[in-house]
Chain A
Amino acid sequence: MRRTLLITCLSSLSPVAFGAAWAQDNAIPDYYPEDYDQIVAAAAEEDDLVVYGNIAREAWQPVIDHCSARFPEMPEIQTLDLGATEVFERYYTETAGGADSADFMLSIDPGGWLRFIQQDGVLPYQSPELEHLPDWSYYEPGLYMYSADPTTIAYSKVQFSEGENPTGVADLAAKVEADPAAYQGNLSTYSLPEYLTVWWPFINSHTPEGGSWEESEAWPWIETLGPSTQPLSSSGPMVEGIMTGQYAAAYLTSSGNPRRAVATAAGEQLLGYNFIDDGTPIWLRGIAIPQESGSPNAAKLLLDCILSSGGQIAVAEGDYTAYRPDVAGEAKWHLQSVLDEVGEENALFVSYDDVYLDQETLDAFVARWNEAMGR
């Protein structure tokens, strides 16, 4: 598509013609269905597009700017930043009474999405971008992925000198064991049950062949780290705490906030982060159009736009990680460079697995984790 674009703009010499050609070419590529312009026309008639998600407005902004420029017909996009499960709960409450609710949804919670699909909540939709996306990024009947975000270990540059920083969970546990006095309540990580999506894949990746999660070799590390750790439900306070001196490190935390932090002068001096050498869970952030969407056509435009090359580049501009293979060289943050760095074997994709519906197993897992953490 990029190449056609180049040819188009070379062939049209006047800048005005270039602008027009760009807009037209980008809006509806030739591999889109014939009748796609009808979706665009219908979207123009629809009300504001309300998005329920669990990412901040600033992160949405590049995506919204890009997609509104590509489809000037798109109605105004409103975003609401909620908890990962609240996205669904709010939708259920509102639609049951026939009230207006989300027109487009984003959540990091696989269990929430699986339940939502079971209850026929997702509007079936086949995006024309699907053929350009990896297989793992699509679930029937219309669940796609916004980004594929690696977790990290973020650390204080004041506490860890160059080269001494923790590289993985086992490494951090060894450091704590060597000098317990230096780590008193100054570590943080994601809490359970909110962040099963981090802990379940990580613990399971250290399970011996044919064994169960209870026998994971990761438990002793957690037992070592637990007494020094204050689990939190958001990575923003972890990063802020590392910079102010509250925390020495945060393990299995997100990548978005550390990325934003090191982009500032203060963050660059105070904070570092790296992927986790003994297992980097990679989140898949689900997006879909709900059945009750009041602006389904505008929602389709937004969905297709997020999945397009330009949309994925915009996703990375908002400090989330693009995964569409054909933008690997262009996006500010891309899954490919994560995979190159940690190695395929250490990349733990957070699959949309039925285990997230198995409350009994999850409760047992949370109980075991609390025990290891000493909570």
Chain B
Amino acid sequence: MTDTDAGNASQAHRDVTRTRLATPLTQYGIVLLTVVLVVSPLLPILYQSFIAQPLYRDDLDFTLSNYARLFVSRAFYDILWVTFLFSAGIAVVSTAMGALMAVLTVRTDMPGRGWIGTIFTIPIYTSSLVLAFAWITVYGPGGYLTATWANVLGLPAWDLYGLWGMILIGSTAYAAIPYFYCTSALTMADPSHEQAAQICGAGRMRTLWRITLPLLRPALSYSLLINFVAGIETLSIPLILGEPRGVRTFSTFLYTEIGKTEPQYGLVACASMLVLVFMALLIMLQRRVLGDARRFVTVQGKAQAPKRLRLGPLRWPLATLCWIWVTVLVVLPLAGLLARSAVQVLTPYISPLTVLTWDNYVQIFEVDTYARSIWNSLLIAGVGGFFAACLSLGIVLVAERSDNPLRRPLRFLSLFPQAVPGVIVGVGLLWAFVLVPGLDIFRSTVIGLMIAFTMRYIPLAVGAIAPSLGAIGPELDRAARTSGATWIGTVRRILVPLVAPGFLGAYILLFLSFLREYTSAVFLYVPGTEVIGTTLLSLWVQGKSGPVAALAVIQIVLVTAVVLISRRLLGVKMYG
């Protein structure tokens, strides 16, 4: 054996070792990355909840007094109660709205149902922050219609601010979720059930009540839970509509407490821990409900177009009511926002045509801090969204298609961020970046925000990829493995090409979510890493509603462009 041969042999041995190690290294790498990502915002909060001083001090004392003080604090119970009312209100109203609209558009012959349904779901594509601004522009205390109504016509005005306004806007913002669940449940359910009922002599309403609605039960209960959770974690609506009237939810409590002089970090951390536990319980309940859902969905029959319920003489009155409904809740506010972005002031006292201006848009693009927030958002959505999609794909592959012993904990971990409100992610990561030496580099660049957003939306992406991977028969992997391919080889050659459309869908979902995300960014951004949402909030606080409207319109245009392009060119359908 010559020296070269020996060299080749040891080289070959190294190659074999490397390939043998590649699989576990990749798998455990993905597990470790997920653990770090999910746990790093939570540890500092847990830690802070047990120490008396702000966690950045040197002289720290272990204590349980934070929890003790929280439990006897009257204000905390008030906040919990308001949060409950708000979230329950959103859950009930939005689910009722979504279900009713779904029944009308899917199961009846109401004219214009396609358009009505589309307009009804627009708010899910704009952020709730933008929707809140739009509503205030039109229906707020100084809103165009309010002012016309009260000051010009002299009629008693309504007050959009406060709990009821918050519930109404929140429900409008989240009604698309129950709508999508109910539409898909209604489309899949076998219409022969309804026909059978009618043959047995049941009237239209009775059929609706006894057959159609019970079939919607899983969709309804799932929507109730999802929107209840959304109500707990939403920041924009309570911040913009609740704070001026002293209506404070958990999210706004966290937001204002940390912004004030000598914040009570211990209390903030304890309250966060309690909410985390509560949210985790809710999410577990949600899983059980979803598990049940399969039982109902299997009621699908032959491919057969459902026969629509004939509304008869009610057709046009109902259609008119629905048009008024979507016009008042969705079209007018968005039209008001668009109008506000193009004038100096929107008021019934002077004709908007005399004060037309491009200044609001010019200001957004000329002031570099504002313009930069648009580029940053696009960068975070484009690049950060891609990495998040890759990580999610890795998670799904390890969790669903490997024999890694940690695959079940990994699946649980990847869904856990659903239980973590955005404000907590922001505060937790801020503390982590500041406390751990060397991590500050993440905070001074957009990478920190990418990490926060990825943590927030991993469950969404995992949820989008998992079904398309599930659709690929496991015998394909087995065939590859039997032919001698490693796990990595199988993944690369078989699974990834087949799951590509699901991956693309997840990427687009992440792109849209990242473009609109701001709750986890409000504590985390520094000069240079502003995003659209943080700029919107900061402009709003200064009362610059013109530039706010202009930037909101820009965000809507960007989101719409992405949605249309992905639908037309790539055939990817978002939601439902």
Contact = CB atoms under 8 A, between A and B. Distances in A.
Nearest to B363: A58
B348 interface: yes
B142 A158 contact: no
Contact of A96 (B57, B141, B142, B363): B57
Contacts of A158: 349
Interface in B385-443: 430-431, 433-437, 440, 443
B78 to A, nearest CB: 16
B261 A244 contact: no
Nearest to A242: B142
Interface in A210-260: 230, 232, 234-241, 243-247, 257
B144 to A, nearest CB: 8
Contacts of A241: 141-142
Interface stretch (A13-21, A86-94, A274-282, A342-350): A86-94
B545 A97 contact: no
A269 B57 CA distance: 53
A245 B344 contact: no
Contacts of A61: 367
Contact of A265 (B261, B344, B349, B440): B344
A266 interface: yes
A93 B54 contact: yes
Interface residues of A, number: 49
Interface stretch (A2-10, A73-81, A143-151): A73-81
Interface in B18-62: 54, 56-57
B260 A85 contact: yes
Contact of B147 (A58, A89, A236, A246): A246
A239 B546 CA distance: 13
Contacts of A50: 526-527
B187 interface: no
Given A58-B367, A257-B543, A80 B526 contact: yes
A310 B434 CA distance: 38
Contacts of A96: 54, 56-57, 434
A235 B526 CA distance: 24
Contacts, number: 130
A112 interface: yes
Given A93-B54, A245-B349, A270-B349, A81 B538 contact: yes
A236 B541 contact: yes
Nearest to B526: A80
Interface in B435-467: 435-437, 440, 443-444
A232 B540 CA distance: 13
Nearest to B546: A240
Given A80-B527, A245-B347, A100 B259 contact: no
Interface residues of B, number: 53
Interface in B356-371: 363, 367-370
A237 B543 contact: yes
Interface string B138-153: 0011111011001100
A99 B434 contact: yes
B147 A57 contact: no
B147 to A, nearest CB: 4
B527 A93 contact: no
B350 A266 contact: yes
A264 interface: yes
A227 B482 CA distance: 81
A111 interface: yes
Contacts of A98: 437, 440
A265 B355 contact: yes
A97 B543 contact: no
Interface in A251-310: 257, 264-267, 269-270
Nearest to B523: A90
A321 to B, nearest CB: 18
B346 interface: yes
B45 to A, nearest CB: 14
B141 A246 contact: yes
Contacts of A97: 56, 434-437, 440
A55 B56 CA distance: 27
Contact of A93 (B151, B367, B434, B444): B434
Interface of B: 54, 56-57, 140-144, 146-147, 150-151, 244, 258-263, 343-350, 354-355, 363, 367-370, 430-431, 433-437, 440, 443-444, 526-528, 538, 541-545
25 contacts: A50-B526, A56-B542, A57-B368, A58-B363, A61-B367, A89-B262, A93-B54, A97-B436, A97-B437, A98-B440, A100-B440, A234-B543, A235-B543, A236-B541, A240-B543, A240-B544, A243-B345, A245-B147, A246-B140, A246-B147, A247-B142, A264-B344, A265-B355, A266-B345, A269-B350
